[in-house]
Amino acid sequence: MPELDQGFFTRDPVSCASELIGCHFRWRDCTVRIVETEAYDSRDDPACHTWFRPSARAFVEAQQAGDAYVYLNYGVHWLFNLLVKGPRRSGFVLLRAIEPLLGIERMRARRPGVPDHQLGAGPGKLTRALGIDGSTHGVTFLGSHECGITLGKSTTPICGTRIGISQATHLPWRFGDPNSPALSRKFT
């Protein structure tokens, strides 16, 4: 399976978010299947961090396409994004849900008592299950001994509005595998 290269992330964030569904995501001792994502667009999307965080604008400027943008949400949960830098549009893809493929014992150990299909069924849950935290901020996911993303089986993703935001709530920039048991919420 081909490893995603920087070319994949030098397009528009919505295309990247859609096409990441079904891809295999490898981080240290775990490999998972991406089943839910959201796109955020730095240009004309008021929900994107670049809209209200100068530090996010600086990150887009300084970092490379395919780098991890990780931040703490509600003071509790780490949320994982991939930086997209297209010729016209930049932004982020938020990972919202994953299914375990390899290393499921490690994921269970990090989330004791949680059923397997729930281990990564949410953006805060998946970072906990994978052991991703603020120290992953800025790491490139273009492929290394430590991490990488490869193309997986492509199912046609379903699409809906994004979760948990108060701005630009109408944009249909949430994508998911319709057959996955690990989606964070129903699509609307």
Residues that bind DNA (CB under 7 A): 38, 40, 47-49, 52-56, 69, 72-77, 79, 81, 92, 94, 111, 114, 122-126, 162-167, 184
Q: How far apart are CA 127 and CA 148, in angstroms?
A: 15
Q: Whole-number minimum distance, CB 169 to DNA, in Å?
A: 10
Q: How far apart are CA 133 and CA 125, in angstroms?
A: 12
Q: Name which of 44 and 52 has its Cβ closer to DNA.
A: 52
Q: How far apart are CA 155 and CA 22, in angstroms?
A: 7
Q: Name which of 3 and 185 has its Cβ closer to DNA.
A: 185
160 exposed, middle or buried (CB, 10 Å; 0-12, 13-18, 19+)? Answer: middle
Q: Whole-number minimum distance, CB 172 to DNA, in Å?
A: 15
Q: Name which of 22 and 124 has its Cβ closer to DNA.
A: 124
Q: Name which of 23 and 39 has its Cβ closer to DNA.
A: 39
Q: Whole-number minimum distance, CB 112 to DNA, in Å?
A: 10
106 exposed, middle or buried (CB, 10 Å; 0-12, 13-18, 19+)? Answer: middle
Q: Whole-number minimum distance, CB 1 to DNA, in Å?
A: 26
Q: How far apart are CA 82 and CA 94, in angstroms?
A: 7
